Amino acid sequence: MIISKEELGRITSAACATPHDYLGMHKCKGGVVCRAYLINAKSCSLIELKTGAILPMEKLDKSGFFEIFLKGKRKVFAYMFRVESYYGETRRIYDPYSFLPTISESDLYLFGEGREYRIYEKLGAHIRNVGGVKGVSFAVWAPTARRVSVVGDFNEWDGRYHQMRTLGASGIWEIFIPDVRAGSKYKFEIVGAKSDTPFLKTDPYGIYFEAPPYNSAIVYDMSGCPWRDSGWMEARKNTDLKVSAMSVYEVHLGSWKRKFEDGNRPFTYVEMARALCEYCRKMNFTHVEFLPLTEYPFDGSWGYQVTGFFAPTHRYGSPADFVEMMNIFHENGIGVIMDWVPAHFPRDTFALASFDGSCLYEHADPRQGAHQDWGTLCFNYGRNEVRNFLTASALSWCDRFHIDGLRVDAVASMLYLDYSRKAGEWIPNKYGGNENIEAIEFIREFNTVVHKYHEGVVTIAEESTAFAGVSKPVSEGGLGFDFKWNMGWMHDTLAYLREDPINRKYHHDTLTFPAIYQFTENFISVYSHDEVVHGKGSMPNKMGCAFWDDKLAQLRALYAYMWLWPGKKTLFMGAEFGQSREWRYDASLDWDLLQYAPHKGIQDVVRDAAKIYLDDKALAANDLRSEGFSWINWRDASNSVISFERIGLGGKSRYVVVCNFTPVERREYVVGMPLDGEWEEILNTNAGCYGGSGAGNGGKISAEAVPADDRKFSARILLPPLSTLVFRKRI
């Protein structure tokens, strides 16, 4: 027996931070020693691969610890073990402790610096061929842990058998285990610095997980996921969405439609792609934006409390199914944006919280590390490895899954140290201010890196304050997002329309105010899922009209107004046909409402307004330019009417939009016009085909040289109640 009793006890009690110093083959005084620690092993022999010699090993502990001393041997050599189990099975295996680390010194250095942006290719579980031996390399960051083991269905979840080694001062633990295969379930068993009691954590870098309550990570082989979207990916590089049409359909995958005939289950990734592509093309949406599809344990969080930042949720299929979904979308010309959540993470004990027994990913001080509103934890953006984790997560969705855009949730909560906190509940920054300097630098780095490595991918901020430069380039001092959700426009328009029409004249400035800041950011006009949950009511019920038909007419007018207003567009599912109840994450949308003409009419208005926008490239090209918009009359509060002009890039197209937000028909209403002659009435939300009364202007109007609204020309129009009219001048 070469190993001391103390050293043997440290291995068999799983209390060793350097198991590779003892297990495997090592030179020692007078020869070579080889040790193995094998589960369920009755006996073990050493096989010298060069000679084929089989040398029995001595069993030093009944749990499966074996040792052999080869006296006179001067060098270590290639070997395997011949293992006889208690079940009578005999097999040959390679020794996990005979392999060098699969992570280089350069990887460790860059990770410590926060700049190993593809660290997800190194940490986690990866199927590799090391020296001709196939297996899985496992690696995890746990710097304050005293011991880490890989446990799984390949070692009966026993933390004694695959104890990992630390790699220098990096805090990374690593082991390569031969013969572990795709489909194996695993976790990390950790002994923290403050307690001798081991605990289990799932893999922060896992790519596939089993369902709760077990939450094990699953070894997955992405090499069998073929891509067919090379044409889309190449075209994306040359597409600038700032000057292209962008109509986004926001979707919760589990509740868009469900399979009633199959136990009311949600669609799979592939089923959803096939159905949703057809619908988006019909409705003239250019993109789908999914609520988070990253792994999460609680259905009721809708995906916003993430525990698997690198993994598609298991609910709708495997990573291969996710790839196939993306293939289908891209083959049909539909871009895919996904909500991504670097602002917080849940306290679930199996995931990131207190990962190695310390506050590793979060701040220790709750004044910095806890979200009061959501009961979740804040990332420690000042820690290099945490920033690296988050940036790598973003890149992985672009690399592995060809995501076309990331919409970052709750950016305001990241930017401000006092977000939703009272005095005394937050800590000022080093300058005494409330800006989260570390989070701001992370956001800039995230945007810089994503745009550097994935040309054509867009980033979108959900940011609800007036923080300056959200969609301004990092090089110009901004945060670097491509777009920002226009939360102010959303709240102002809905606040105005909640008013009874008779009172709207007193709130006219609420409707017109957003034009003042419209071009300060690259805005997306949005009515999101947040507006139809938690007792806020459905979109029709937000309309202040007294009668149901009027509410639906108002909604038709609102959506036409939205699509002709400057900026890109996002609309949450169900809103496009006026679903009358709040959204539920566990039930299908009420598609049966489309049998009723008023609801079908809302859907048709969205379809036709989106088509006007999609077909006119010059119009979309001026979405973000003040030259593309001009008020005609924003002062007609007494009638609750607004009118404005949209101008295509280079003046190639001209539109006049008139909105009547009262249930009063206005005949001979005078509108200033930018040009004389005939104008087409290309959209009338009161048309009979949309469920309206049919009153309108017969498809055209004529502008004459009679000044009005500070314009040289004007037209007298019939302005139906609760309607939006769109006129186009062909040039």
Among 113-117, 169-173, 316-320, 371-375, the least confident range:
371-375
373, pLDDT greater than 90: no
Token code pair at residue 641: 């009417």
Catalytic-residue membership of 576? no
The yes-or-no verdict on residue 1 having pLDDT over 80 is no
- Are 67 and 122 in the same domain? no
Strand partners, 702: 678
Q: What is the mean pLDDT of residues 73-84?
A: 95
Mark whether 186 and 110 lie in a shared domain: yes
List the Cα angle 578/581/587 in 5-degree steps: 105
pLDDT-derived band at 374 (thresholds 50, 70, 90) equals confident
Burial class (CB in 10 A: 0-12, 13-18, 19+), 53: exposed
Partners of 288 in the β-ladder: 249, 336
Q: What is the average pLDDT score of the chain?
A: 96
> Helices 548-564 and 597-615 meet at what angle, rounded to 10?
10
Average pLDDT over residues 534-539: 94
716 assigned to some structural domain: yes
Could you tell me if 192 and 165 lie in one domain? yes
- 418 among known catalytic residues: no
The secondary structure of 147-207, three-state, reads EEEEEECCCCCCCCCCECEECCCCCEEEEEEECCCCCCEEEEEEECCCCCCCEEECCCCCC
Is residue 704 in some structural domain? yes
The residue-averaged pLDDT of 169-173 equals: 96
Residue 730, pLDDT score: 84
Per residue in 376-396, pLDDT tens? 999 999 999 999 999 999 999
CA gap 23, 17 in Å, rounded: 12
Domain count across the chain = 3
Residue type at 274 in one-letter notation:
R
Residue 65 and residue 117 in one domain: no
Q: How many CB atoms lie within 10 A of CB 237?
A: 10
Last residue of a domain, one of 224, 249, 275: 224
Relative to beta strand 258-259, strand 265-266 is antiparallel
Instruction: pLDDT band for 369, please (50, 70, 90 cuts).
Output: confident
- Indicate if 181 and 93 belong to the same structural domain: no
Residue 395: C-alpha distances to residues 93, 151, 398, 475 (Å): 36, 28, 5, 20
**Per-residue pLDDT tens for 216-263?**
999 999 988 999 999 999 999 999 999 999 999 999 999 999 998 888
Residue 423 lies inside a defined structural domain of this protein: no
Residue 109 shares a structural domain with residue 94: no
Q: Which among 98, 121, 146 is the end of a domain?
A: 98
Q: Comparing C-alpha atoms, which of 288, 251, 342, 126 is closest to residue 589?
A: 251
Minimum mean pLDDT range among 6-10, 216-220, 294-298: 6-10
Cβ(568)–Cβ(613) below 8 Å: no
**DSSP state letter for 316:** G
330-364 b/e with 16+ CB inside 10 Å = b? beeebbbbbbbbbbbbbebebbbbbbbbbbbbbbe
Which pLDDT score is estimated for 175? 98
**Looking at 224, 249, 278, which one is the last position of a domain?**
224
**The CATH number of the domain where 639 resides is what?**
2.60.40.1180
CB atoms within 10 A of CB 245: 23
Cα end-to-end span (Å), the chain:
95
Catalytic, out of 289, 438, 462, 550: 462
- Do 629 and 646 fall within a single domain? yes
- Same domain membership, residue 115 and residue 62: no
| 503: amino acid identity, one letter | N
CB < 8 Å & 24+ apart, contacts of 474-482:
474/444, 474/447, 474/448, 479/411, 479/440, 479/443, 479/444, 479/447, 480/443, 480/444, 480/446, 480/447, 480/448, 480/451, 481/408, 481/447, 481/522, 482/241, 482/242, 482/405, 482/458, 482/522
551's CB contacts (< 8 A; 6+ apart) are: 540, 541, 543, 545
- Catalytic entry in 67, 409, 482, 645: 409
Query: What is the per-residue pLDDT across 99-158, written as a single tens digit (0 to 9) for each?
Result: 999 999 999 999 999 999 999 999 999 999 999 999 999 999 999 999 999 999 999 999
Q: What is the pLDDT of residues 397-453, one digit of tens each?
A: 999 999 999 999 999 999 999 999 988 899 999 999 999 999 999 999 999 999 999
Q: For residue 496, what are the contacts with CB-CB under 8 A and spacing of at least 6?
A: 504, 507, 508, 510, 511, 661
Residue 386 lies in a domain: no
Q: How would you class 506 by CB atoms within 10 Å of its CB: exposed for 0-12, middle for 13-18, buried for 19 or more?
A: exposed
CATH of the domain at 170: 2.60.40.10
288 within a domain of the structure (yes/no): no
Q: What percent of the chain has pLDDT over 70?
A: 100
Sheet holding 165-166, edge to edge: 124-130, 133-141, 172-178, 165-166
484 band by pLDDT with thresholds 50, 70 and 90 = very high
* Same-domain check for residues 123 and 50: no
Instruction: Look at residue 188 and tell me if it is in a domain.
Output: yes
- In this prediction, residue 652 carries a pLDDT of 87
Query: And the tokens for 455?
Result: 């040309």
Omega of the bond leading into 213 within 30 degrees of 0 (cis): yes
**Measured at the alpha carbon of residue 249, what is the angle toward residues 261 and 499, in degrees to the nearest 5?**
105
Is 80 exceeded by the pLDDT of residue 659?
yes
Report the alpha-carbon distance of residue 450 to residue 457 in Å, rounded. 7
Cβ within 8 Å of residue 146, ≥6 positions away: 15, 17, 191, 192, 193
Contacts of 425 (CB under 8 A, 6+ apart): 367, 372, 418
* pLDDT (average), residues 543-553: 96
Asked if residue 128 and residue 41 are part of one domain, the reply reads no
For the beta carbon of residue 511, count every other beta carbon within 10 angstroms. 23
Q: What mean pLDDT comes out for the span 573-585? A: 97
Q: Which pLDDT belongs to residue 74?
A: 87
pLDDT value of position 5:
92
Give the residue numbers spanning the domain of 709.
618-729
CA distance readout (Å), 187 to 20, 180, 362 = 20, 14, 21
The pLDDT value recorded for residue 587 is: 95
* 131 belongs to a structural domain: yes
553/142 Cα distance (integer angstroms): 58
Q: Which of 532, 499, 395, 397 is nearest to 451 (CA)?
A: 395
Q: Where are the beta strands (DSSP E) in 5-103?
A: 24-28, 31-37, 41-48, 54-56, 58-61, 65-71, 79-85, 90-93
For residues 265 and 587, is the Cβ–Cβ distance under 8 A? no
- Asked if 119 and 47 sit in the same domain, the reply is no
- Asked whether residue 293 carries a pLDDT value surpassing 80, the answer given is yes
What is d(CA 422, CA 425) in angstroms, rounded to the nearest whole number? Answer: 5
- 93 and 17 housed in the same domain: yes
On whether residue 50 sits in a domain, the answer given is yes
Confidence of residue 510 (pLDDT cuts 50, 70, 90): very high
Q: Average pLDDT for residues 680-704, to the nearest whole number?
A: 97
How far is 470 from 243, CA to CA, in rounded Å? 18
